[in-house]
Amino acid sequence: MTKRHFFQGVSALALAALVSGCSTIYFHRGSQNAGVTATEWHHDGIARLVEFSPPVDMADRCVGNPWTTVKVEKSFVQLLASSFSYSLYDPWDVSYACKGD
pLDDT tens digits for the chain (101 residues)?
A: 688 878 777 777 666 665 555 677 888 887 666 666 888 888 888 877 888 989 888 888 888 888 888 888 888 888 888 888 877 888 888 999 888 75
CB atoms within 10 A of CB 12: 10
pTM: 0.67
Q: Give residue 99's pLDDT.
A: 82
Sequence-distant (6+) residues with CB within 8 A of 39 are: 93, 94, 95, 96
Cβ atoms of residues 24 and 73 within 8 Å: yes
Q: Give residue 67's pLDDT.
A: 87
